[in-house]
Amino acid sequence: AQSVSQHNHHVILSEAASLELGCNYSYGGTVNLFWYVQYPGQHLQLLLKYFSGDPLVKGIKGFEAEFIKSKFSFNLRKPSVQWSDTAEYFCAVNGGNTGFQKLVFGTGTRLLVSP
Amino acid sequence: DAGVIQSPRHEVTEMGQEVTLRCKPISGHDYLFWYRQTMMRGLELLIYFNNNVPIDDSGMPEDRFSAKMPNASFSTLKIQPSEPRDSAVYFCASSSGLAGADTQYFGPGTRLTVL
């Protein structure tokens, strides 16, 4: 079965530290990749997405992610985190043999940024 | 655009009662998704509709759960009878299938507590 793995379940950083959250997927073939963020008490919001083209994708709030097809990875990065980045981050994938409408989510990574 | 609208935002009920959750997708979107989020299982897709027709309900946990979409602007998720293990946050999302692989936009969720 298709799956999305987020290896870090909890991450604690100080402000200004750099962030990298891992995401790996198990599909073969063409996929679309997403990172969503869920701030405390809020709904999921799209951070960035990759459909095709430049594998380095820039999203909102200074986040970026790089699609490495050979590694089945789509890691999220931010050079300098802020306290307001405290949230849960979800990687998601569609495509492959589940079709392009069905999103499969990873289990999420809780990020806590201390001021 | 108001985004995806869900009601109620919070629901507390007793075991055995019927619960109905409501969702209004973004106008013009032809896909609608229902998700459940729990600490133990993360985000799970329950069912999704295309043009008001259920396409995949393989994630619906059991017969106590049912979902309908009588028109393009309204969907319900019903649990009858409810059980304590149904306590979760239920999200509705919508997307436009024009590109075949578009972004899902999430509503604020309904936090359900079954006592």
Strand order in the sheet with B19-24: B5-7, B19-24, B74-79, B65-71
- What's the gap in Å between the CA of B26 and the closest CA on chain A? 14
Looking at chain B from residue 46 to 85, which residues have their Cβ under 8 Å from any Cβ of chain A? 48, 50, 55-56
Interface probe for B, chosen from A6, A34, A101 (most Cβ of B below 10 Å), is: A101
In the numeric block, which tokens belong to residue A60?
């909102």
Least confident range of B44-58, B70-84, B93-107: B93-107
Q: Where are the beta strands (DSSP E) in A1-115?
A: 4-5, 10-14, 19-21, 24-25, 31-38, 44-50, 56-58, 64-68, 73-78, 87-95, 104-105, 109-114
Distance (Å, rounded) from C-alpha B113 to C-alpha B115? 6
CB contact under 8 A, A45 and B106: yes
Query: Which residues of B are less than 8 Å from A34 in CB distance?
Result: 103
- What's the gap in Å between the CA of A73 and the closest CA on chain B? 19
Whether residue B99 has pLDDT greater than 60: no
Hey, is A7 helix, strand or coil? Answer: coil
- Tell me how crowded residue B28 is: count the other CB atoms within 10 A of its CB: 11
Query: Which residues of A are less than 8 Å from B91 in CB distance?
Result: 43-44
Distance (Å, rounded) from C-alpha B91 to C-alpha B50? 17
Band of pLDDT at residue B42, cut at 50, 70 and 90: confident
pLDDT score for A14: 97
Could you give the percent of chain A with pLDDT greater than 90? 68
Contact with chain A for residue B43, Cβ under 8 A = yes
Q: Is B81 exposed, middle or buried (0-12, 13-18, 19+ CB in 10 A)?
A: middle
- What's the gap in Å between the CA of B62 and the closest CA on chain A? 20
